[in-house]
Chains A and B, each alone.
Chain A
Amino acid sequence: MSVYYSEDHEWIEVEGDLGTVGITDYAQGQLGDITFVDLPEEGAEVAKGDSVAVVDSVKAASDVYTPVSGVIAAINEALADEPELVNTDAEVGGWLFRVTLSNPSELEELMDEAAYKTYVEGL
């Protein structure tokens, strides 16, 4: 099991060909209080870089881009009633969707935890 990070502040935890995607703790801190999360449909085919979800905060709406291509396998139903989970538990309970990877080699273009930490410090 490995976790990767994108420059757009998504994380993806991969087990076999299944990836779980969310936004990073840094990203939720930047967005502020989250009031609604618009999630993709299960079964939707998505390509790396597509805007597949939207996170609404009090102030603004922000796109979430899938860091890998594949098919949406699940969405986090808990966020319908508790969108604030993305604030309080961004990198575990506040996950957004699961995706069955169609091209695992795309993971090589993402950062590991140490590289992402350095990236954020440079912002």
Chain B
Amino acid sequence: MSDISQFDDELGLEPIEPGILPLDAWHRAHGARMVEFAGYMMPVQFEGILAEHLWTRESAGLFDVSHMGQLYLSAAEGAEVDLDAAIEAALPIDLATLKTGSVRYSLLLDEAGGILDDLMVTRWNTGFYLVVNGATKWDDIGTLREYLPDAVNLNHLDENALLALQGPKAAEALARLVEGDVALADLKFMKGASFKLGGVDVWISRSGYTGEDGFEIALPGEAAATIADLLCAEPEVKPIGLGARDSLRLEAGLPLYGHDMTPAQGAVESGLIFGVNKRRRSEGGFPGAARVQKDLAEGTARTRVGLVLEGRMAAREGAKVFAGAHEVGVVTSGGFAPSLKQPIAMAYVDAGSAAVGTALEIEMRGKRLNASVVPMPFVPNRYYR
């Protein structure tokens, strides 16, 4: 450490400062504790993770996820390009079954089939709208640019903010504030449409990362504070930080990029094969297709499972998992589940130890914690289908 900083001093290098997002001042004014996350200053909590988590499960929480990458893919003007075919050559998605205004979960795979990112793809009238993870967005842009022909334009919508309104009361709160060609109540899970929200043109999709019914709202960054105020003026809505976002997604069984899936894992062992659409599994023709087909045919050595622990001590990322004396896996996410009032974890374990009901042990600080494999989600999803 000392050698490196000395080197920095000699070169006059300064660390890269975290980015500031449109709602930075808004969060601070609402009492957020700010931390650096994915290269930005982000709110980790407002009143406290437990209270925010439970509020989201019973009412509605507003999350700022403006760190995520919003991309737009379209055919270059005058170019002779089949946009759908070009994107299908880059992603394992079936666009023939993706209608305008529909949202689909997909994976960005490397040539060896390792997961570079997971993403949401929406068909718009004139192109495709993608939402990718914040920490990986710069790499994703590079990878997509490499995978896509020059006749496909890739725009980074970096002037946009992204808000998520999540929870069983999100729909009734948001319905009071929006106007659109479709009624908000008619928007089903994984569908999106344009609306006016507080006089601002926004794109709203019925999707999220909490397991609850809810919405993701793309809007111009300069309108973000006004819209956040408008939403939080509704009695059902409170601002929620990244801490509760993490505990909510863990309970919902949703993997976190860089932890529960990395380039070391493929679509099959990570349990994310639904991100490779059926037609594409047999046809191939996308980066990493050979690995996907091989893993589907032969199975994988390890697989991602959910674990419920006895007692109250939580297992954390990196903890080893044992079946008796044999090390059979590793925890990739873990923590106390506020809605279940017990610790839960995601882990990669050997296929022989992955069946629901298997009794395993997790080593934490020299102790063995009893755990058993359970189906995910840990808390039932409440999507509006």
Contact = CB atoms under 8 A, between A and B. Distances in A.
A61 B247 contact: no
A103 B264 CA distance: 51
Contacts of B314: 35-36, 56, 61
26 contacts: A32-B48, A32-B49, A33-B49, A33-B50, A33-B51, A35-B312, A35-B343, A36-B311, A36-B312, A36-B314, A36-B336, A36-B343, A54-B365, A57-B49, A58-B49, A58-B50, A58-B53, A58-B243, A58-B247, A58-B338, A59-B49, A59-B246, A60-B316, A61-B314, A61-B316, A61-B365
B312 A83 contact: yes
A38 B365 CA distance: 10
A57 B336 CA distance: 8
A35 B48 contact: no
Nearest to B244: A58
Nearest to B49: A58
Contacts of B311: 36
Contacts of B48: 32-33
Contacts of B338: 58
Report, as a range, how many residues of chain A touch the other chain: 10 to 19
B243 A59 contact: yes
Interface in B37-55: 44-45, 48-51, 53
B125 to A, nearest CB: 42
Nearest to B367: A38
A58 B48 CA distance: 10
Contacts of A33: 48-51
Nearest to A63: B365
Given A54-B365, A58-B49, A59-B49, A36 B335 contact: no
B313 interface: yes
Contacts of B243: 32, 58-59
Contacts of A60: 316
Interface in A66-94: 83
Interface string B339-350: 000010000000
Contacts of A38: 313, 365
For the residues of B in contact with A, the DSSP-based class is mixed
Interface of A: 32-33, 35-36, 38, 54, 56-61, 83
Nearest to B246: A59
Which of B53, B311, B336, B343 counts the most chain A CB atoms within 10 A?
Answer: B336
Given A36-B313, A83-B312, 13 more contacts: A32-B45, A32-B48, A32-B243, A35-B314, A35-B343, A36-B314, A54-B365, A56-B313, A58-B53, A58-B243, A59-B44, A59-B335, A61-B316
Contacts of A56: 312-314, 336
Nearest to A81: B312
Nearest to A61: B316
Instruction: Specify which of A36, A58, A61, A83 lies most central, judged by the most chain B CB atoms within 10 Å of its CB.
Output: A58
A2 B349 CA distance: 51
Contacts of A32: 45, 48-49, 243
Contacts of A59: 44, 49, 243, 246, 335
Nearest to B311: A36
B336 A58 contact: yes
In order of increasing CB-CB distance, the 6 nearest A-B pairs are A36-B312, A35-B336, A33-B50, A58-B49, A36-B313, A59-B243
A97 to B, nearest CB: 16
B318 to A, nearest CB: 12
A50 to B, nearest CB: 13
B358 to A, nearest CB: 24
Nearest to A38: B313
A61 B50 CA distance: 15
Contacts of A36: 311-314, 336, 343
B317 to A, nearest CB: 10
Nearest to B312: A36
Contacts of B45: 32
A57 B48 CA distance: 11
Contacts of B50: 33, 58
A59 B44 CA distance: 10
B6 to A, nearest CB: 25
A50 B343 CA distance: 26
A58 B314 CA distance: 9
A54 B45 CA distance: 22
